[in-house]
A and B are shown apart, each in its own frame.
Chain A
Amino acid sequence: MTSWYKLDNVGHLYACVANSKWSGIFRLSAVLQQKVNQNILQQALDCTMSKFDFHNVRLRSGIFWHYFEPNKKKIVVQNECNYPCSLMDVNRQRHLLRVLYHNCRISVEFFHAICDGGGGWLFFNCLLHKYLVLCGHCDGLDDCIKFIDYDKENFDAFKSTADLHFGKLCRKTPKAYLIDYKTCQSDGYWLTHGEMNTNLLKALAKKYSVKVGQLLTAVLAFGIYLYKQDRSKKLFAKKNEPVVVNVSYDLRKKFGVSALRNFFSYALFELSDKKHTLDSVIAEVADFYKKIDSDYLLKAINTNVRDQQKLFNRLVPLCIKKPLINYAYNAWGEKLASISFSNYGNADVPACFANHIVRLESANGVAKVGRVLECSSVSFNDKTVLTFCSKSKDTLVERIVFGQLVELGLQVGVVRN
């Protein structure tokens, strides 16, 4: 076991920005057909953690950067009794992930500094597989853990992929329209899942000559556009800011890299300032996705790596750097987009999962203030689950988005915590 780990490029940002208002976590869940057994889940977790050393760490502050230190305490599975995606105290030397269970649902909540959705799914797959093996539902033949070369895949993929001579990306976007949901401090975090049939969704996307992810992005952007129009009648409404959707990209497939840590980028889809119909938004989204090629993403990686490698940024002590980064993120970073959307696509899971898992879910944690709504989707077993995570009891955007999908001819099943 290594005595300490470096954070990756994105990890540094998350470590600096995490605070008592937003701890940068995301959640992956699986709904099983049977009730979860706590003891077996703990055994499965212990087995998985023996392979994923890097996930059992705590965040420490160095002189110039944060770093991870192996955590001697083992992670204990907890019965879920709090709100999903609730804040994680990452600065007080706790674990940076938590494994929760309730009734038939197993969930893992990760701090984004240790891994992104892609890396998280690898961990979650291993945990679920181990659990199902211990329950006697799966055989150990297609064990995901065996296929992971931990030493090779546990590295900073940003640094190894970046080609600093290739150029960098200039992102100049205006301040995005922020959804003005009412939030109260005492309110919890709310997840709204909408379940759809994947085949019907694919057929619908095919009708518009786009991919499922593109269709969902368009419906989401159009939903917020309609919400903005509804809100614009009110006093003090923000009318000039554009609707922007922050679309996350998993870079693993694009660059043929298998990484356990963070390796993702984002692109901002800005809805033009004119009258829209869903068809026109879908056309805009399709054009936008065409621009996101390998060159664009490589430039995005270069921008991040170049900033991190600047001598000045490296020499400034963390005690100065952290509040500055935190302030910059709160002042500008958070206001870049109206909502962020992570599409995990079709979950790559062992075949035996289909008989024992009802559905998979994913969610991105939201901040207590600022951008109070996040969205993500995942498909598994012919079911696509679109999840909104919010800090408010308001549901108008969710209602509009699911309403649009129903209007398009899909059956949507809704659950909320």
Chain B
Amino acid sequence: MKCNTCCVNVDSSHTNCPLCGNIVLGNDGCQSVLSYCKVDIGSLKKEVRTLKYRWLLICIFILVLLNFYTKSNPNFAYKTEIFWFSFSIFFYLLIKEVFLPAFFSKRVIWRDCIKALMIMSVMLVFIDIQNSSLTWSIAFVLPILAGFCSVLCFAIVKLFEQELLNAIFFSIVLAVFNIFLFFANICLLFIFNWYKINLTIVFVSLCICLSVFLYFVLFEYSGLKDSTEAKLHV
């Protein structure tokens, strides 16, 4: 039957016009020789999610092993700092694997920067271990450095495309991401050293950590992620 809006003949397998979405009167939606199979989107989504989290789990496993190794080794005086550092890496992975591909999927260069930074971070940890020096500095310097580099790289990429407004907009988004990450890292430090600091800070830290968790749940298990992507046109 014909779609009154598009003036094209619509195959009988479609009850709505595939181009404009208007209802095509007379089409019953039954299978025709030209029709395709119906794809189970739920299982595909699940597959994508499984792939993402598989990598996350592998990374967490490696980090836990690293922590056990450092904790069981009496030579490491600053073992807790390595624990903090692994958390900061975990959050980077979370952003890289879960959020980045969806938000900044066009920016291969940006993802590559993050990958390079990840490798560099891991290398620095091992160098630190070898030198028995403070890993505390790395745990905080790297997130700041990463934040700075990522914002800079992304802004440069966008500026080269002569899209100043987009550059500013995405830079702000990225900056917020990185500040958020940085605060999460500090908060974790506060939580695990709660006996040294007052309870108000612990409460604030907990709230922020909870918000990280909520943010993650909202974006992964609700339609918020899809709708945000759609709004951002990525």
Residues of the B chain whose Cβ atoms lie less than 8 Å from the Cβ of A416: 14, 18-19
B102 contacts which of A185, A330, A414 (Cβ < 8 Å)? A185
A399 contacts which of B19, B109, B165 (Cβ < 8 Å)? B19
Select from chain A the residue with minimum beta-carbon distance to B106.
A369
Residues of the B chain whose Cβ atoms lie less than 8 Å from the Cβ of A320: none
Select from chain B the residue with minimum beta-carbon distance to A240.
B162
B48 touches A81 (CB 8 A): no
Main secondary structure of the interface of A (DSSP, over half): loop
- Could you tell me the distance in whole angstroms from the C-beta of B163 to the nearest C-beta in chain A? 7
A406 CA / B229 CA spacing, docked (Å):
34
Select from chain B the residue with minimum beta-carbon distance to A407.
B7
Among B37-45, B136-144, B171-179, B210-218, the one that faces the other chain is B37-45
Residues of the B chain whose Cβ atoms lie less than 8 Å from the Cβ of A412: 8-9
- Could you tell me the distance in whole angstroms from the C-beta of B158 to the nearest C-beta in chain A? 11
A229 an interface residue at 8 Å Cβ cutoff?
A: no
Residue total for A at the interface (Cβ-Cβ under 8 A): 50
Residues of the A chain whose Cβ atoms lie less than 8 Å from the Cβ of B41: 186, 188
Residues of the B chain whose Cβ atoms lie less than 8 Å from the Cβ of A242: none
Select from chain B the residue with minimum beta-carbon distance to A359.
B34
Instruction: Identify the interface centre among B20, B34, B41, B230: most chain A CB within 10 Å of its CB.
Output: B34
8 Å CB interface, B82-101 against A: 101
- Could you tell me the distance in whole angstroms from the C-beta of A99 to the nearest C-beta in chain B? 15
8 Å CB interface, A324-352 against B: 327, 330-331
Select from chain B the residue with minimum beta-carbon distance to A34.
B33
B6 touches A402 (CB 8 A): yes
B230 touches A185 (CB 8 A): no
A358 CA / B14 CA spacing, docked (Å):
19
How many A-B residue pairs lie within 8 Å, measured between CB atoms?
120
Residues of the A chain whose Cβ atoms lie less than 8 Å from the Cβ of B9: 411-414
Main secondary structure of the interface of B (DSSP, over half): loop
A415 contacts which of B35, B105, B106 (Cβ < 8 Å)? B35
A4 an interface residue at 8 Å Cβ cutoff?
A: no
How many B residues are at the interface, by size bracket?
35 or more
Residues of the A chain whose Cβ atoms lie less than 8 Å from the Cβ of B163: 236, 238
- Could you tell me the distance in whole angstroms from the C-beta of A37 to the nearest C-beta in chain B? 15
Among A111-119, A176-184, A283-291, the one that faces the other chain is A176-184
A331 CA / B106 CA spacing, docked (Å):
10
8 Å CB interface, A134-162 against B: none
Residues of the A chain whose Cβ atoms lie less than 8 Å from the Cβ of B45: 186
Select from chain A the residue with minimum beta-carbon distance to B52.
A185
A192 an interface residue at 8 Å Cβ cutoff?
A: yes
A411 CA / B163 CA spacing, docked (Å):
41
The 7 sampled A-B contact pairs (Cβ below 8 Å) are: A31-B33, A103-B37, A183-B229, A395-B18, A411-B9, A413-B11, A414-B6
If A81-B39, A192-B19, A402-B6 are given as contacts, then 9 extra A-B residue pairs at C-beta distance below 8 Å, sorted by A number, are A236-B163, A238-B163, A331-B108, A358-B34, A395-B20, A403-B8, A412-B9, A415-B18, A416-B14
